[in-house]
Amino acid sequence: MGSEFGQCGVGCAPARTLARAQPSSLLNHELKYGQVFFLIEFNGAEGFYGEISRTACLGVAPKPLLDLWRDAVEAQDRTAEIMKDGADPREL
Domain boundaries, the chain: 5-82
Q: What is the pLDDT of residue 1?
A: 59
Q: Residue range 38-56: average pLDDT?
A: 84
Residues in the chain, overall count: 92
pLDDT > 70: what percent of the chain?
Answer: 88
CA-based angle 17:20:9, to the nearest 5? 150
- pLDDT band at residue 35 under the 50/70/90 scheme: confident
Q: Residue range 31-52: average pLDDT?
A: 82
Q: pTM for the complete prediction? A: 0.58
- pLDDT band at residue 25 under the 50/70/90 scheme: low
Calpha distance 63→70 (Å, rounded): 10
